[in-house]
Amino acid sequence: MFWHILAQPELWAATLAMATPLALPALGGTFSERSGVVNIAMEGIMLIGAFFGVYAACLTHSAWLGMLGGIIMGAVMSLIFAWVTVSIGADQVVVGMGVNIFAAGLTTFLLNMIFGYGGTPTSTPHLPNIHIPGLSQVPFIGPVLGQQNVVVYIMLLAVIASHYFLFHTNLGLRLRAVGENPQAADTAGINVWNMRYLGVIIGGMLSSLGGVYLSLGLLNSFEPNMSSGRGYIALAAMIFGKWTPFGSLGAALLFGFSTALSMYLQGTGNISTNIIQMLPYALTILALVGLVGRSTEPAADGIPYEPNK
């Protein structure tokens, strides 16, 4: 029975679809932590992206402008996060938790305030699925890779672009240098704070895109706390992926697979759905404990940089 499930192209299509809202924030976290800022605020920033994506889409009647709106608000939230953690040097984990509680409250508050208690309108435009000519016709591969939501393809491009940026450009090298040894980077004339702002804000934009995908790509509406821990799972995916874009994608695919599998098994009705839904969370812990081994974080990750010290 199990092998039969694995032969279903829908399972693999769902794996990719469910990996996307994990891969984007994991990628975002990679940018932030490579620059030396621990970012557990991805959960909250996803919610901000998800809500303001829907709001902007409703206002402008365009899913694309909605996506833009969600990303901009994610960037604004990250800018505030960066200001408090980088410029003021506050505890990054605590502020991140603050962002998460704030964002969960703010988005639910605004949902009730703006849309009332009935939720967001069903007429909200949503981001389209794309049929890649040729590829979508191929059996098995077609349904998996050829006809996904547009954000899935953006995510795949973002992974490649991030890898190139971080490991093959000058700016990427500087960003990583700041996360490893800010004193040396500072001596070499790199502006540590600017690089960290850059890392956190790119990270926030990617995370909020993950949120936009949840609300405008998958569901077409905003629900309170709809990120349901994905920001934290993404954090695990990033660690599992050893702070690299391709590693994050690989880990996100693994978690995406467990989510897709749990969705699939729910249909079979043999096991309680509640038990199956534990799967991604349990796998996250297993990944952190057994499969990763010790992964080494950027050396200056989590330490505020204060010059002259």
- Give the span between the Cα atoms of 176 and 195, in whole angstroms: 9
Residue nearer to other proteins on the CB measure, 156 or 288: 288
Residue nearer to other proteins on the CB measure, 192 or 233: 233
- Give the span between the Cα atoms of 257 and 40, in whole angstroms: 23
Say if CB 50 and CB 215 are below 8 A apart: yes
**Largest Cα–Cα distance in the chain?**
64
Residue nearer to other proteins on the CB measure, 72 or 90: 90
Say if CB 177 and CB 190 are below 8 A apart: yes
| Site track for other proteins across 86-115, x = CB under 8 A | --xxxx-xxx-xxxxxxxxxx-xx--xx--
What is the amino acid identity at position 73? M
Residue nearer to other proteins on the CB measure, 94 or 171: 94
| Site track for other proteins across 210-229, x = CB under 8 A | ------------------xx
If binding is defined by CB under 8 A, does position 39 make contact with other proteins? no
Q: Pick from 6, 135, 157, 285: which binds other proteins (CB under 8 A)?
A: 285
CA distances from residue 37 to 30, 219, 302, 303 in whole angstroms, order as listed:
10, 31, 5, 7
In the three-class reduction of DSSP (H, G, I as helix; E, B as strand; rest coil), residue 149 is classed as strand
Give the range of 13-21, 163-171, 188-196, 285-293 binding other proteins by CB under 8 A. Answer: 285-293
If binding is defined by CB under 8 A, does position 268 make contact with other proteins? no
DSSP structural state of residue 127: P
What is the amino acid identity at position 208? S
If binding is defined by CB under 8 A, does position 125 make contact with other proteins? no
Q: What is the Cβ-side half-sphere exposure of residue 114, based on CA atoms within 13 angstroms? A: 16
- Give the span between the Cα atoms of 241 and 164, in whole angstroms: 16
Q: Pick from 138, 141, 278, 299: which binds other proteins (CB under 8 A)?
A: 278
278: left (phi over 0), alpha (psi -120 to 50) or beta: alpha
If binding is defined by CB under 8 A, does position 265 make contact with other proteins? no
Residue nearer to other proteins on the CB measure, 84 or 202: 84
If binding is defined by CB under 8 A, does position 156 make contact with other proteins? no
What residues make contact with other proteins under the rule CB under 8 A? 40, 84, 88-91, 93-95, 97-106, 108-109, 112-113, 228-229, 232-233, 235-236, 239, 272, 274-275, 277-278, 281-282, 284-285, 288-290, 294
